[in-house]
Amino acid sequence: MKVSLAVSFLIACLIHALIIVLLVVNITLNKPERPANSQAELMHATFIGESAPKGGQTKPQTPVPQKTVSDDTAAREEQRKQAQEELKRKVEEQKAQEQKRQEVLARKKAEEEKMLALKKAEEQKKKAEEEKRKAEEKKKAEEEKKRLEEEQKKKAEEERKKLEEQKKLEEEKQKKLAEEKKKTEEEQKKKAEAEKKRQAEEQKKQAEAKRRAESEKQAKALEDDILGSGGSGSGGGQGVAEGYGAKVRTLIEQNWRVDSSMNGKTVKVTIRIAKDGTISSQECKGNAEVCRTALDTLSLIGMLPMPPADCKECNHIVISMTPKI
């Protein structure tokens, strides 16, 4: 158990005080008491030895030292001084021992303080190292957390990009499918329209062939009529031309498609006809819509009956035509 410096010093002081008290008490007990009568003389005791020799002469005696009260007092004083010196010596020794002990305690305390300081410094060092280690661990944990967050973020970004790419690919695929479907539909529509057009053209061709056949038949009949009328010799070339023109007008009117808006609108159609009945040129004067339909009808007919060989006027005829509904 460690004793503090103040407690040790207090104990030493108590011990010194106790020793001084004991010495004082001892000196007081050994001090002789003075006589009651201060005036009385001190008694000197003389020791008488052998009796004087014969002859009346006495032999001188050697004086014997006598012990007096003052001598006793001096002895006691000497003892007191010796005791004081002894006490002083002991006190000095005690002081020296106490000082030595205090120095030992001081060195021990200094060593303890040094050890405590070293221990404290070591603890502080360990604490600093521990704090540094914890800080490094915390930093590493934060870096690891940051790395994981970055990895998660990167992974999420990659997933997002992947989903976007998949979505884009899916959209492109759907778009491509839609385009292919649209293309297929358009192709089917085109094929259907082409087929419809082909059928319409076929029907048109058939109708044209039919009309052409009818026109040829009518032209043949017209030619027969014209030739027949021309062969009779009545009316000459002018009558043949009029008859040929009338037959051509009848042929056009049979194939002419008109509506109520054209009703009563007269136009003049000029036709140049080759020897084989081919229409070389055609003109129309009058209402534009009526002329257009009349010329379209001539184009549809394509070929007229061959004009009579002896009728020069039949190669250039002018026909007045009026739609009637």
> Does any domain span residue 155?
no
* 107 lies in some domain: no
Is 72 part of a structural domain of the chain?
no
Q: Can you tell me the distance from the alpha carbon of 270 to that of 318, in angstroms, rounded to the nearest whole number?
A: 4
CATH number of the domain to which 255 belongs? 3.30.1150.10
Which residue is associated with the tokens 């081919």?
278
Q: What is the pLDDT of residue 165?
A: 87
In a domain, 259, yes or no: yes
pTM for this structure?
Answer: 0.31
DSSP letters, 194-240, are HHHHHHHHHHHHHHHHHHHHHHHHHHHHHHHHHHHHHHT-SSHHHHH
pLDDT beneath 50: ranges in the chain: 1-2, 29-33, 35-60, 64, 226-236
pLDDT of residue 4: 62
Q: Say if CB 278 and CB 323 are below 8 A apart.
A: no
For position 43, what pLDDT does the model report? 42
CA separation for the pair 98, 86 (Å, rounded): 17
Tokens for 164, please give them.
């976007």
Contact 305, 279 (CB under 8 A): no
Domain annotation covers residue 291: yes
**Amino acid symbol at 127:** K
In a domain, 301, yes or no: yes
DSSP 312: G
Q: Is residue 33 a part of any domain in this protein? A: no
- For residue 129, the SS3 value is helix
Query: Residue 56: what pLDDT?
Result: 44
pLDDT of res. 286: 92
Distance between CA 303 and CA 115 in Å, rounded? 138
Residue 288 falls inside a structural domain: yes
> What's the number of domains the chain is made of?
1
Q: What is the pLDDT of residues 300-321, one digit of tens each?
A: 888 888 888 888 888 888 988 8
Residue-range definition of the domain harbouring residue 268: 217-321
Summarised one tens digit per residue, pLDDT across range 277-306 is 888 889 999 999 999 998 998 888 888 888
